[in-house]
Amino acid sequence: CSRRITALHLVSTFPIPKSGSMHSMSGVSVFNVPKSAWIRPKPKTDNQSAVPSERWGHSSTLWKGSLVIFGGYTSAESEATGSSIGRCFNDLFILDLGSVTWSRPVVTGIVPTERWGHSAVLDGNRLIVFGGYSSTRVEGNTFFTDFHVLNLETMEWSQPGVSGEAPSERWGNSSTIVGSTLWVFGGYSRSSIGIGRCYNDVYCLDLNTMKWSRPRIS
């Protein structure tokens, strides 16, 4: 059977020009598909700290009638300080789409490093995060090729060991799960001397054996 899509939810997803620079947005927008109309609901919360700060480049994943928001980047700090480097996040928020209520669950385990431009896909009750990019004053610019799993029932992060031929560091790639295999396509990276590179390669990770491979593509 097929499932009819009646609404698309957008959460603070892109920067807009502001005074010659980029400015991150915050808020929730919903596109009603049957009516072809946008609305801006006002989410509820009992705690303001449970509401994500303005950001973009985060992941937004549908799980059991909720959106799971992880990571992202904001230019707000750089606008306030004049620095060219903003702030990356590794926090987690959940938006209940039924009640339109924000919450910020307490997570445990091996929490991923702050990042944006990563991919996040759902595998049952597991959120699988791969790759991404971070820019901080302390560590500089970093592209990731690591693999993280969040158990959404227990809210515990883990970083399973993987083997095989893994993708190189990248961000902006796509990730899709087919059966018990995670497929990764494309992305972007930059060398230590500032030379950028886009990818059109394909890798797959067997989620049972946790082994990467690079299939032959024609």
Q: What is the per-residue DSSP string for 72-128?
A: EEESHHHHHH--S--EEEEEEEEEETTTTEEE----EESPPPSBBS-EEEEETTEEE
Q: Give the 3-state secondary structure percentages of the chain, helix then strand then coil, rounded to 5.
A: 5, 55, 40
Q: Does the pLDDT at position 217 exceed 50?
A: yes
Exposure class string for 148-182: b at 16+ Cβ within 10 A, else e: bbbbbeeeebeeeeeeeebbebbbbbebebeeeeb
C-alpha Rg value of the chain to the nearest Å:
18
Q: Coil, strand or helix: which one is 7?
A: strand
Single-letter residue type at 204: C
Contact of 107 with 94, CB cutoff 8 Å: no
Look up the pTM and report it.
0.85
pLDDT band at 119 (very low <50, low <70, confident <90, very high): very high
Q: Which two tokens stand for residue 104?
A: 């910020």
**pLDDT of 51-90, one tens digit each?**
998 888 999 999 999 999 999 998 765 555 555 567 899 9
